[in-house]
Amino acid sequence: MTKAASLPPVGLPGLDRRFSRIRSVAGRGVDEGLLRDWHYLDTADELQRLGIEPVGTILAVHGNPTWSYVWRGIVDASVRSAAAGNEAWRVVAIDQLDMGFSERTGTHRPLAQRVVDLGAFTDALGLDGRVATLGHDWGGVVSMGWAVDHPEHLAAVTLLNTAIHHPEGVPIPAPLRLAGARGMLAASTVHTTAFLETTLALASPPLSTAVKDAYRAPYRAADRREAIGGFVADIPIDARHESFAELSRIADGVAALTVPALLLWGPNDPIFSDRYLDDLVTRLPHADVHRFEGASHLIAEDRPYADSVLTWLGDNAQAIAARESSAPTAAAVADSFVPLWHELDERRDDDDIAVIDMASRGAAGPLRVSWRQLDERVRAMAAGFAAMGIEKGDRVSLLVPPGPTLTAVLYACLRIGAVVVVADAGLGLRGLTRAVRGARPDFIIGETPGLAAARAMGWPGVKISAPRLPRVTAAALSVETCLADIVAFGKHAPQPAEPEPHDYAAILFTSGSTGPAKGVVYTHAQLSALRDALAAHFEVTHDTGLVTGFAPFALLGPALGTRSVTPNMDVSAPRTLTATAVADAVKESEGQIVFLSPAAIMNVVATADALTAAQRDTLKGVRTFLSTGAPINSDLLEQVAALMPNATPHTPYGMTECLLVTDITLDDIRRTSGSSESGVCVGSAIGAGRVLVSALDADGKATGTPSDSAGVLGEIVVSAPHLKNHYDRLWLTNREAVRDTTVSEADVAEVDVRWHRTGDVGHLDAQGRLWVEGRLPHVIVGEHGPVAPVGAEQQIERVAGVRRAAVVGVGPHGLRQAVAVVETVPRARRAALADPALAAEVRAHAGVTLAAVLAVSELPTDIRHNSKIDRTRLSVWADRTLSGQAPSAP
């Protein structure tokens, strides 16, 4: 029995009834010869009233059990954006037949019929010109069916959590299995509102009661919920299902699309998990992807999807106008490109030592691996990996500590074009889980602890164990094979083709000290450029020898053609490194260059008294010392210099996105000690790198055109041949990092000029040296404009009785007040207002007006860089303390 379409009730939050329309459409397929009434939202009349001509139409299709209400955000945002003078897009958001406030037809409507229905509707509407589809849930499938069938109008595709293919033999998601189970389908979807309520409960954060009621509005009675059950029943579980062929047709058609594509995803979705995102990325490799951490199934409610879609359409206006793919073309790479494994090829017959493992000791001392042995193992492993099905572009997560095994696995993966995924164990189990699930590796190679974590936390990927495990253990950890078996097989298998310079090589995760860890994607050309910059700047030769306790550089020794060693330590816990371990590593490798992180340096200095006279003599052979990571103060660098008296101490500045940006030596730091400049001087750009500053405005935002003008406080913007390619599946984050970074016509003319906004603030001096003054989120914006914290902190740390200082803001943005929080010597017994005499000295030195001075026994550091003060946490604590709410310590 049919029921006519109707307009939604008045007063639904966020829905402007001016946009509601009802249209009679000539049916097709099962509706041939019939008229069907559709309810939909349409902004065309409002744009016409404003005198605005749209450039195209966004065709939005809801899923099950929602309706066009889910698209109210983009309906509103598109009109506001157009009225503000931006590129205008008409939005048409339908209620599928039998759903929302469209007609209840009482007719069986499988997937193929729903695709036909949508085509009939757009024809009746006279929809032509450019169309960008927007779909969610099963509306994503229907919208993609329309996209495949209308190539003449298709300009772009955008999708929120959905699926267009389900792998054979894999159970469908549990909520759908439960809803569709025999005897449960009608009860959970039609006779009761269980399925609807379960879906609404997936929002994160939870929906308000009023918004939930709006979603319930079309489905108050059982006879209005029949299509909810019909959609669930229409999920093609296997090839016997009537909709399987149509879903397969759509999936194959999607893989042939070349128009710009955007995938916005909620990774916490229990229905459409990242497995389905992986499938879409495989079919649309040129798609821009953004995973909203913490978002779930109702991503249109969870995150600002509408602004994201409109911004993306604006960014891709040229490609959309041409109806061509927005996929980036590979930048030209010089013929001089040399892959990272080049030195292995060159030294494959060399019996000199390549890698030393200080943690593996036998009667003859630490394990030593020659260039010949390393090359043989890498080649056998590469061939074995390829034979077992690891292909170019497959992602391989490495859960192996630094040493010969990790080195061989890494170079074997690179040789065959697999993309290595490296996340620091220091992220903790929760952080590692977020990183691994976000990267969605196809394979995981690990030691037993890593494999146990992967099993316990449900990390994706085929599991390969580094050691040979007992059969029972391997089965318990879902391990399919081990490296020894892969090497044995690979010795008799052919070498696969090598990747191209522009192919992706690695995903390196950030430390997580400034928010959830982000995957940073590098190409082979960019990693090779990093090697070349390092080799040239620090004069690395075959005889140099490299000792590194800093994980990102622990694997570069073979690429540099020099022997390398990691001291006996837990690289994920830098403070486990001792001075004696450094001396022993230097002795074994005859290393002349030592790389350490700031946190490791602090413990090396703290344990220096344990050094023997012989070990101190060994350290005299070091000629170059580098502190890589956060810049360290000159006092700590002076203490390291005393341990390595013949070394030139350097403190390069960089980040995961560009591991080497600038560099400064201790002598240069000494020469700047009397300078009036504010902040930490980190020197000048390395090699072909460039550093600019985007000035802060009165609101503390980096809005200035990036320039090299001296004395301008702003966000640091960097460029280098070894700069990252992009963030993995974080399109919005990547867009923010590269926004407004076209600095001149000359830069545009250059090949492959890429810029990155670092999130750090600072300034350049008259000599072009960079001074870092803090992080952008830590800038204090008061009534007189922005203030960076580091300069004031440095001045305060000159006060007798102050060990370390942090300057943070309290109060509302725009009216924030600066507060100094100091570690005192001797330590304060409890956190409280500082002694009046000390406070007066601090205020006199600070150089900024301080609302208060607080004393604590110890300043909190962030989760990874033990040398970095956690100003965000400290700011919250100080604010609460001064209002009488905080606990006794930060």
* pLDDT value for 175: 60
- CATH 3.40.50.1820 placement within the chain: 17-321
* pLDDT value for 865: 47
Whether residue 379 contacts residue 495, with contact meaning beta carbons closer than 8 Å, is answered with: yes
- Rounded Cα gap, residues 453 and 399, in angstroms: 10
* pLDDT value for 551: 64
Q: For 636, how many CA atoms within 13 A lie in the half-sphere containing its CB?
A: 23
Q: What is the Rg, in whole angstroms, of the alpha carbon atoms belonging to the chain? A: 30
* pLDDT value for 738: 87
Tell the residue number behind the tokens 């000290």, with chain if given. Answer: 513
Could you give the strand order of the β-sheet that contains 850-856, starting from the edge strand earlier in sequence? 802-810, 817-824, 850-856, 832-833
Instruction: Please provide the CATH number assigned to the domain covering 779-882.
Output: 3.30.300.30
- Rounded Cα gap, residues 137 and 271, in angstroms: 9
Q: What is the pLDDT of residues 788-840, one digit of tens each?
A: 999 999 899 999 999 889 999 999 988 999 999 999 988 888 888 999 999 99
* pLDDT value for 52: 97
**Residue spans of the chain under pLDDT 50:** 324-332, 334, 744-751, 863-866
Q: What is the pLDDT of residues 480-539, one digit of tens each?
A: 999 999 999 999 999 999 999 999 999 999 877 667 889 999 999 999 999 999 999 999
State yes or no: cis peptide before 826, omega within 30 of 0.
yes
Handedness of CA 294, 296, 301, 303 (dihedral sign): positive
DSSP 235-246: S--STTSTTHHH
Whether residue 769 contacts residue 835, with contact meaning beta carbons closer than 8 Å, is answered with: no
Could you give the strand order of the β-sheet that contains 419-422, starting from the edge strand earlier in sequence? 479-482, 462-465, 443-446, 395-399, 419-422, 504-509, 519-523, 726-727
- CATH 2.30.38.10 placement within the chain: 654-721+730-776
Instruction: Please provide the CATH number assigned to the domain covering 654-721+730-776.
Output: 2.30.38.10
- Rounded Cα gap, residues 29 and 120, in angstroms: 10
Residue 429 vs residues 457, 458, 609: alpha-carbon distances, Å: 9, 12, 35
- CATH 3.30.300.30 placement within the chain: 779-882
Superfamily of domain 17-321: Alpha/Beta hydrolase fold, catalytic domain (3.40.50.1820)
Q: What is the pLDDT of residues 53-92, one digit of tens each?
A: 999 999 999 999 999 999 999 999 999 999 999 999 999 9
* pLDDT value for 259: 95
- Rounded Cα gap, residues 631 and 681, in angstroms: 9
List helix spans (H) across 572-706: 579-589, 598-606, 613-619, 634-643, 666-671
Query: Using DSSP, how many helices (H) and how many strands (E) does the chain show?
Result: 33, 36
- Rounded Cα gap, residues 384 and 610, in angstroms: 46
- Rounded Cα gap, residues 451 and 480, in angstroms: 12
Instruction: Please provide the CATH number assigned to the domain covering 361-499.
Output: 3.40.50.980
How is residue 412 written in tokens? 């074997």
DSSP 245-311: HHHHHHHHHHTT--S-EEEEE-TT-SSS-HHHHHHHHHH-TT-EEEE-TT--S-HHHHS-HHHHHHH
DSSP 529-572: HHHHHHHHHHT--TTT-EEE-SGGGTT-HHHHTS-EEE-SS-TT
- Rounded Cα gap, residues 262 and 735, in angstroms: 13
- Rounded Cα gap, residues 483 and 489, in angstroms: 10
